[in-house]
Structure 1
Amino acid sequence: MSRPLHSIQAWKRCMSLVQSCTNMRQLKAIHAIFIAHGLHLNNYAVSKLLSFCALSDSGSLSYASLIFSQIQTPNSFIYNTLIRSYSRSSQPQLALQYFNLMLDNENVVPDHHTFPFVLSACANAGLVLVGKQVHNWVLRNGFALSDSHVQTALVRLYAESKVLDDARKVFDDIPNPDVIQWNVLINGYVRCGLASEALNVFGDMLISEVEPDEYCVTTGLTACSKLGALWQGKWIHEYVKKRKGLELDVFVGTALVDMYAKCGSIDMAVEVFEGMPKRSIFSWAAMIGGFAVHGSARKAIHCLERMQVEDGLMPDGVVLLGVIIACTHAGLQEEGQYLLDNMKALYGIVPKHEHYSCVVDLLCRAGRLDEALQLIRRMPMKPLASVWGALLSGCRIRNNVDLAELAVRELLLIENGGGSEEDGAYVQLSNIYLAARQCEDASRIRRLIGDRGIKKTPGCSTIEVDGEVNEFVSGDVSHQTSSSNTYNAGFDVH
């Protein structure tokens, strides 16, 4: 039988215990004290316990749910705390369960704190149709017209669900979108592979006299990287240098390095990188990746040494992959193999499939197909299509029919009767047969290709001329200019 808590001093002591709590072991002991004194019946007191469990890095969402199940009359704060926590967890769908419980409770009404987290849960769980239902509920209750957090959550829901038409409709209904809402929309276009449209929106934001923050600048530079739009990237760089209050922080600096490297200006990438006041592991990965693309393998390897000496940073799997790719492009077989074989010993990184795939590619490019096959056979994980595709490409260069047939058989087992990898495998095998003068086998594969209706995906490339990005598709004679040139007026530097 619980003993009521009468003393204000005792109440304060219990609240102080919660505030000083650092782990679940302490929390459970405090919870027992609360139960002993009847504090578990007080919503304000128990909400402090629940908040620690749900929101602290040292908490436990499952224990928060247990506490919730023992609350007789949960209030909106308690519901919102659990909805918020589950929305960003590995089980975002559970946030929707608590939202439904909230709707079923006649004594509690969702408020403007509830919906951003509910919509976030829908986005994170990939439940766009449920999100639309919530959107309709929001509209009926007038929240979308008055609260910027709800508006932002709606734009994010549709943008992250790749329903960009709806994201744009919601955005256009916002009277004065803030910089966060602009960035959510721009990032949505980038995530959907629509970099030209992303830069159009970036230009619209500037015309609207909304000043981009570091996040917007980083997103805009990412769009430039994907388009190869060097002129626009340089403009953004100049804007950063001239805008007061907009600093070249580690995120913007890294995005600039990546943009310059991918747009073909490796010297500018190096200049920005060397001038960064602070560099992260992502900065080093961008620089190493840039050297890899530009064939400067020795410089990439040197960066691997520099990052440890100059910045005290140990490489992760992404950095090491960049170095192996650099070795592959430069044909540095021994260096690439050494790195793969010693990743665990030197850096504590267990090689993943992509590391093995790159070294297989490296061996194939060197014409050492048998060694590549041996490496595939001893991989600690099941080889995926990229590995067999690398071997098949090597067979095409070396006209090795036997290994090509093996690679195609393995690819077909992985693809299981469909997919672009299978289509490409047939086309490559046909070409290998032709190069080896096995015309009958080549004709057989060509007939199979015709029967299956396989068509080679047309190549697409972009080129920037005088600040205008043009896209060209193989077989297209129209040479139409990308819509990205329509935002040039918004990119005037004064």
Structure 2
Amino acid sequence: MQQRCMRQLVYSRIQAWKRCMSLAQCCTNMRELKATHSIFITHGLHINNFAISKLIAFCALSDSGNLRYASLLFNQIQTPNSYIYNTLIRAHSTSSDPHLAMHYFRLMSKQSDFGPDNFTFHFVILACANCSWLFPGKQIHSRVVKNGLVLVDAHVQTALVRFYVDCKVLGDAQMVFDEIPDRDLIQWNVLMNGYVKCGLASEALTVFRNMLVCGFEPDDFCVATGLAACAHLGALCQGKWIHEYVKKRKGLNSDVFIGTALVDMYAKCGCIDLAVEAFEGMPKRNVVSWSAMIGAFGVHGYATEASFCLERMQVDDGIRPDAIAILAVLMACTHAGLLEKGKNLLHNMKAQYGVVPKYEHYSCVIDLLCKAGQLSEAIELIRRMPMKPRASVWGALLSGCRIQNNVDLAEIAVEQLLQLANYDRGEEVGAYVQLSNIYLGARRSEDAIRIRKMIGERGIKKAPGCSMIEVDGKVNEFVSGDVSHSHCMQICTMLDLISANSVQDPF
């Protein structure tokens, strides 16, 4: 009789366990999860690691979860296992509080029964990347090396490359990448994208070429990144080569991201006809594609065509313009000086397209007003803005003051710019140099000399100008004051020859 009762008790507990586990797996929102948690407590399952890990996983990883509640559940566990630690580290690594991933990593490291594994290192490195924590990330890197994971785990390798890229330490990113024995396309793309984001497009193209030499067939992300590098450099020949490569690869030619990257590349390389051809040849387009085409028209001075795209995208593809597409049209109006069209679009965009004007839209129209010499109207619009003006607004006003030689408004704009500069030397020197030029234009040479003297005393230096030109597939970069170019003597000789011919008397 006693054994029978014992068997029934065990059976009932097993059934209760199964019901609780089933409830935990069926949760779709936090209300259901909290109810399940209360049942767990009733049956004593709240102290069981396996059972509570199901609740923590939902709270931490589900879109309907609550990461804070997951932390509260964790605090009630006496001896958390590695799965629970990894779940919380993973969730926090991509959250708004990635530093908490490091907190749980340190707690896990103190456990005597187990230590961090490859999953742990992967997500804690991503947390360091999201926090831009260079020194703690390097400490984690050294532990990864000691554990021998840097040569065998692809996820950890990719996380390390991304970490150094996000911290803008590209030398270390390249070093980690070079040490990976079996690279994959994601790692190639992470490194290329890092170079592009840091303004080192030439190095990104070098990585792209090395990838092809190593026998890798680039996917859509790699091709789009390579085209972005060509766009940054103005490397038309290399961009055309990538386009030809895309045509030969099945699947790539119909990719909407690659098509959009081609439009952007051709436009930035000065070939609006090829940009239009690439755009019209796309089998499928999205709002980003249309925005790229609108921007291409705008940069090349075709504001009417850019504005017409707002109607075409709705009629041809059934796509409603978003804030970015409208901003691209406003920028096109600014390039072409279409004042009334830009003002009307800003005024009607909410009623016509259902898009509430944001800071960027106001900034663009203010820039348009300043370039048209309508400084009083620009000031009025700045006062009516529903948000606080940023540096770009005051910068546009300062540029307009230089055109109109309006010293009073220029001094106000510089004062506001310096308050927003946050010790940015580039912003500071730009504002002072423009103010000095405005003083000179207004024949206030003493004030101009005073500003120039102040710039010298503070040790502020203007960033040198830079130009790039592509010759025979090679991109040449020229920086003001730099004489390191391999053909510097020939270039100077040709410039002297041009200068001598230009001053000769034609008669």
Deviation at 1:52, TM superposition (A): 1.2
Residues 171, 5 of structure 1: alpha-carbon distance in 2 compared, 3 angstrom cutoff: farther
Match of 2:59 in 1: 53
Residues 291, 142 of structure 1: alpha-carbon distance in 2 compared, 3 angstrom cutoff: same
Q: Is 2:264 the partner of 1:226?
A: no
Asked if the contact 1:240/1:248 (under 8 Å) is kept, the reply is no
Residue 425 of structure 1 aligns to a residue whose secondary structure is helix
Residue 351 of structure 1 aligns to a residue whose secondary structure is coil
Question: Take 1:418 and 1:85, find their aligned partners in 2: how far apart are those partners?
Answer: 34
- Output the amino acid matched with 1:19: Q
Deviation at 1:245, TM superposition (A): 5.1
- Output the amino acid matched with 1:294: H
Residues 392, 103 of structure 1: alpha-carbon distance in 2 compared, 3 angstrom cutoff: same
Alignment of 1:83-482 (within 5 A): 83-244=89-250, 246-415=252-421, 419-480=425-486
Residues 120, 449 of structure 1: alpha-carbon distance in 2 compared, 3 angstrom cutoff: closer
Question: Take 1:415 and 1:170, find their aligned partners in 2: how far apart are those partners?
Answer: 36
Deviation at 1:162, TM superposition (A): 0.9
Asked if the contact 1:5/1:37 (under 8 Å) is kept, the reply is no
Asked if the contact 2:426/2:463 (under 8 Å) is kept, the reply is no
- Output the amino acid matched with 1:71: I
- Output the amino acid matched with 1:425: A
Asked if the contact 2:24/2:36 (under 8 Å) is kept, the reply is yes
| TM-score for both structures, normalised by structure 2 | 0.89
If asked which structure has higher relative contact order (CA below 8 Å, sep 6+), I would say 1
1:280-335 per-position Cα deviation (integer Å, ceiling 9, x unaligned): 22222211211111111122212222333333333333222211111111111112
1:415-447 per-position Cα deviation (integer Å, ceiling 9, x unaligned): 477632332222222322333333343344344
Asked if the contact 2:151/2:181 (under 8 Å) is kept, the reply is no
Q: Is 2:21 the partner of 1:21?
A: no
Residues 247, 396 of structure 1: alpha-carbon distance in 2 compared, 3 angstrom cutoff: same
Question: Take 1:374 and 1:473, find their aligned partners in 2: how far apart are those partners?
Answer: 40
The worse-fitting range, judged by mean Cα deviation, of 360-369 and 418-427 is 418-427
Question: Take 1:135 and 1:478, find their aligned partners in 2: how far apart are those partners?
Answer: 37
Question: Take 2:422 and 2:63, find their aligned partners in 1: how far apart are those partners?
Answer: 43
Residues 427, 210 of structure 1: alpha-carbon distance in 2 compared, 3 angstrom cutoff: same
- Output the amino acid matched with 2:169: V
Two-structure CA RMSD over aligned residues (Å): 2.3
The worse-fitting range, judged by mean Cα deviation, of 305-314 and 154-163 is 305-314
Question: Take 2:10 and 2:269, find their aligned partners in 1: how far apart are those partners?
Answer: 70
The worse-fitting range, judged by mean Cα deviation, of 178-187 and 352-361 is 352-361
Residue 12 of structure 2 aligns to a residue whose secondary structure is coil
Asked if the contact 1:155/1:170 (under 8 Å) is kept, the reply is yes
Residues 166, 253 of structure 1: alpha-carbon distance in 2 compared, 3 angstrom cutoff: same
Deviation at 1:275, TM superposition (A): 2.3
The worse-fitting range, judged by mean Cα deviation, of 377-386 and 50-59 is 377-386
Sequence identity of aligned pairs in percent?
A: 69
Question: Take 2:174 and 2:88, find their aligned partners in 1: how far apart are those partners?
Answer: 30
Residue 113 of structure 1 aligns to a residue whose secondary structure is helix
- Output the amino acid matched with 2:284: K
Asked if the contact 1:4/1:37 (under 8 Å) is kept, the reply is no
Residue 211 of structure 1 aligns to a residue whose secondary structure is coil
Asked if the contact 1:365/1:394 (under 8 Å) is kept, the reply is yes
Deviation at 1:466, TM superposition (A): 1.8
Residue 6 of structure 1 aligns to a residue whose secondary structure is helix
Deviation at 1:125, TM superposition (A): 1.1
The worse-fitting range, judged by mean Cα deviation, of 333-342 and 438-447 is 438-447
Residues 39, 453 of structure 1: alpha-carbon distance in 2 compared, 3 angstrom cutoff: closer
Question: Take 1:417 and 1:312, find their aligned partners in 2: how far apart are those partners?
Answer: 46
Unaligned runs of 5+ in 1: 483-494
Match of 2:501 in 1: none
Question: Take 1:453 and 1:126, find their aligned partners in 2: how far apart are those partners?
Answer: 29
Larger Rg: 2
Deviation at 1:398, TM superposition (A): 2.2
- Output the amino acid matched with 1:51: A
| TM-score for both structures, normalised by structure 1 | 0.91
Deviation at 1:220, TM superposition (A): 1.0
Residues 346, 5 of structure 1: alpha-carbon distance in 2 compared, 3 angstrom cutoff: farther
Asked if the contact 1:285/1:318 (under 8 Å) is kept, the reply is yes
1:433-474 per-position Cα deviation (integer Å, ceiling 9, x unaligned): 333333343344344344444443321111112211111123
